[in-house]
Amino acid sequence: MVVAANPLAVQAGLEILRQGGTAVDAAVAVQAVLGLSEPQSSGMAGGAFMLLAEPGGKLTTYDGREVAGAAVTPTLFIGADGKPMPFLDTLPQGRAVGVPGVVAMLAQAHAAHGKLPWNNLFKPAIDLADAGVPAWPRMVGVLTEWQRMLGKAPDLQRVYYREGGRPPALGERIPMPEQALSLRLLAAAGPDAFYRGPIAKAIVSRLQQAAGDSGTPVLTLEDMANYKAVERDGICMPYRVWKVCGMAPPSAGGVAILQILGMLSHYDLRAMGKDDPKAWHLLMEASRRAHADREAHVGDPDKVPVPTRGLIDAGYIGSRAAGIDPARAATGPVPPGEPPFRTGALFPAADGPDIPSTTHFSIIDGEGRMVSMTSSVEFAFGSGLIAGGFVLNNQMTDFTFVPTKDGKPVANAPGPGKRPRSSMAPTVVFDQKGNPVLAVGSPGGTAIIGYVAEALVAMLDWDLDPQAAVNLPILLNRNGATQIESAPAADNLASALTAMGHQVKRENVNSGIHIIRVTPAGIQGGADPRRDGIAAGD
């Protein structure tokens, strides 16, 4: 089964599985097609995290997050006036582009866990690029909604907008000759084509052109050649009768979700049920505290000390849960805690833009291996720059723009060779026998944490199937107001939570939750109706 944000990507993954490919093989094909059919969200010039869960309890996690070039300094986003640059000003000159990690990560995972030849995995994407990509509703919606900004980007204007500057019509085919050529190079020569060959040269050349006379490009050929994906230890925690596992830092999402579940484990949410406002209140208050810790403590563990063990320590989480009033919302933001195993000073919280333009897909193969992978170019169509047909990311804007606060260093400040903090949170769940039974994740910027935590509670506490879980109204708290999806089904919850002291805001959400769950009755999938995706399998 494959669950992803676009039917063409799902079909590509299923085609690989039917050929006897593994979940990792299918992931390569799915991502290659998503870069064509959902370019506003992810692509080969972006970054990703992947979890691979295998029967017997084995978990492998891959960090394909972008890294900053060697010339990047903590003042990357400080303007000539000494003030933080406006977000949109960081895009045209390419200073927000990091060394892409998707290709290296997929190649590393495939070398260890693939069965089919690498070049075979690109055939669905190459065929699609040759035929032209049909414009899907979400792509057209983004190109239309953001036309005043995206339409000013010459590369996007050339590739995605039609004659007269209009967005493509639904179903209209968009020619992709440049990306077709690059995909052929990738298929034939592997990751070297991307990091040392013609694609690397195209990326650096485009960034040199974007920088112009006003500055030096943020990436060099040496930066591209030096990129390494990282196999990291996953982080896991028991929840009820399951073991829930996520991505370790620089993902802040995995830590935060485990913290939320750990706090909720002190309460009987099953007895409360999905319609009880008290259960949602507890979820919001746990989320509030997890976000406070996320902001204060998490950065790139290769560059700054991150107390990962302490943040998910049972005693520490118990102390955070003890601060929750079961009947009343906290007034104002909750301060971060001081977890054990912390080294050095507490990193002050500092806000940076975290724009939700990402994708997630889940895969299970015939031998029970599950992939949960979240991938992103950060903003809608990333930096707005295109090289070799690929939309270049702007993930460096996930760094905090101001590198110090109150005279103290910020954990997520820019730095050479550094990975920015991410909220991406691919998640897997093992049963008591050590078999993977659930893969889940979502796009959505910092809201990913709430989306995934809610889906896990819906399935593990309230026994909802995956589709029912993603159909629930979304509730979020990021250590501020409680955001409730503008859906009639949430009206009663909004009133009840307001009465409990929550500052409620009703708004649309940007989730794309995609789930696979293994049950005694068979394999179930859930695709978020808020996107273009489907769940399908044999």
Reading the block at residue 414, the tokens are 């820019």
Provide mean pLDDT across the span 50-60: 98
Place of tokens 């996520």: 246
In eight-state DSSP terms, residue 478 is: S
CA 29/CA 390 separation, integer angstroms: 16
CATH of region 68-98+190-350+377-538: 3.60.20.40
Given this model, what pLDDT does residue 104 score? 99
Given this model, what pLDDT does residue 352 score? 45
- Statement: residue 115 has pLDDT above 50: yes
Task: Specify the pairing of strand 230-232 against strand 357-364.
Answer: unpaired
Provide mean pLDDT across the span 425-451: 97
State percent of the chain over pLDDT 90.
88
Question: Which of 152-156, 262-266, 328-332, 411-415 is predicted with the least confidence, judged by mean pLDDT?
Answer: 411-415
Task: Specify the pairing of strand 133-134 against strand 522-527.
Answer: unpaired
Convert the pLDDT of each residue in 486-511 to its tens digit.
999 999 999 999 999 999 999 999 89
For the annotated binding site for L-glutamate, the residues are: 65, 398, 422-423, 445
CA 309/CA 484 separation, integer angstroms: 32
Given this model, what pLDDT does residue 326 score? 98
Reading the block at residue 140, the tokens are 């057209």
| Consecutive H or E run containing 362 | strand 357-364
Q: What are phi and psi of 395, to 5 degrees?
A: -65, -15
Residue 456 region by backbone torsions, left for phi larger than 0, else alpha for psi between -120 and 50, else beta: alpha
Given this model, what pLDDT does residue 412 score? 87
Place of tokens 């998910």: 312
Convert the pLDDT of each residue in 308-359 to its tens digit.
999 999 999 999 999 999 999 999 999 999 999 866 544 544 444 445 579 9
CA 379/CA 134 separation, integer angstroms: 21
Residue 482 annotated among the catalytic residues of the structure:
no
Pair 61, 50: CB distance under 8 Å: yes
Pair 94, 72: CB distance under 8 Å: no
Convert the pLDDT of each residue in 417-426 to its tens digit.
999 999 999 9
Going from N- to C-terminal start, the domains of the chain cover 68-98+190-350+377-538, 135-174
Reading the block at residue 19, the tokens are 């050929």
CA 32/CA 4 separation, integer angstroms: 12
The larger pLDDT score, comparing residue 90 to residue 199, is at 199
Reading the block at residue 58, the tokens are 């084995």
State yes or no: cis peptide before 250, omega within 30 of 0. yes
Angle at 86 between CA 74 and CA 70, to 5 degrees: 30
Place of tokens 């406002």: 277
Convert the pLDDT of each residue in 364-380 to its tens digit.
999 999 999 999 999 99
pTM of the prediction?
0.96
Q: What are phi and psi of 478, to 5 degrees?
A: -110, 45
**Catalytic-labelled residue, pool 358, 374, 400, 427:** 358
For the annotated binding site, the residues are: 65, 398, 422-423, 445
Mean per-residue pLDDT of the chain = 95
CA 186/CA 388 separation, integer angstroms: 11
- Statement: residue 74 has pLDDT above 80: yes
Convert the pLDDT of each residue in 144-177 to its tens digit.
998 998 989 999 999 999 998 999 999 999 999 9
CA 392/CA 211 separation, integer angstroms: 14
CA 464/CA 455 separation, integer angstroms: 9
